[in-house]
């Protein structure tokens, strides 16, 4: 074998070993997801539904207004507002929910807590998208990435809105 051939083989072997070494050090996708999203904060009681993406919750005498991460629902007087709000009323009003952090900031410019809302282990915001009451928003496209944005975008792409 020529020197050039040996050198090429050596480079290939070294590159392969380096890739295997780095592959062992990097966490797999499941581990990255666990690191990226904290545990749910259970025990919040939904006291009021403002609209399809904003609720008021209470726990231990503390009241918080929560803006759901990753979705946008119609505003008052817009097509779909009542349906989106009613979906939230039907699913979470007077129910215990879990709040999950995931936004790049803890609160929005209105002081609302930014959280995913889970009821019975299900993502309520994703349900809003799947039913056509919400659209995926506030993600990397709007410079506000969140851990569930890929799933939200996929659901949004596969769902027709109720006003379309």
The per-residue pLDDT for range 76-121, each reduced to its tens digit, is 999 999 999 999 999 999 999 999 998 888 999 999 999 999 999 9
Whether the per-residue pLDDT at 27 is higher than 60: the answer is no
**DSSP 8-state symbol, 141:** G
This prediction has a pTM of 0.71
Residue bearing tokens 């592959």: 23
Domain ranges in the chain?
Answer: 3-34, 39-157
How many of the other CB atoms lie within 10 Å of CB of 125? Answer: 25
Whether the per-residue pLDDT at 14 is higher than 70: the answer is no
Whether the per-residue pLDDT at 5 is higher than 70: the answer is no
**DSSP 8-state symbol, 131:** T
Question: What CATH number matches the domain at 39-157, 1.10.1040.10, 3.90.190.10, 2.40.50.90, 3.40.225.10?
Answer: 2.40.50.90
**DSSP 8-state symbol, 162:** T
pLDDT for 21 equals 47
Closest CA to 102 of 57, 41, 160, 50: 41
pLDDT for 35 equals 42
pLDDT tens for each residue of 35-83? 456 889 999 999 999 999 999 999 999 999 999 999 999 999 999 999 9
> What is the bridge-based pairing of β-strands 62-68 and 54-59?
antiparallel
């Amino acid at each position: 074998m020529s020197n050039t051939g040996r050198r090429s083989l050596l480079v290939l072997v070294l590159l392969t070993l380096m890739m295997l070494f780095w592959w062992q050090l990097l966490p797999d996708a499941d581990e990255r997801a666990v690191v990226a999203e904290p545990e749910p904060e259970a025990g919040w009681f939904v006291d009021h539904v403002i609209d399809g993406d904003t609720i008021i919750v209470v726990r231990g005498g503390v009241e918080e207004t929560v803006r759901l991460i990753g979705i946008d629902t119609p505003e008052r007087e817009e097509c779909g507002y009542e349906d989106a709000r009613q979906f939230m009323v039907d699913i979470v009003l007077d129910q215990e929910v879990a709040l999950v952090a995931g936004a790049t900031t803890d609160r929005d410019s209105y002081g609302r807590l930014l959280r995913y809302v889970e009821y019975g282990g299900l993502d309520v915001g994703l349900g809003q998208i799947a039913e056509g009451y919400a659209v995926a928003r506030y993600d990397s496209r709007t410079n506000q990435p969140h851990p569930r944005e890929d799933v939200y975008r996929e659901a949004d792409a596969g769902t027709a809105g109720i006003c379309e």
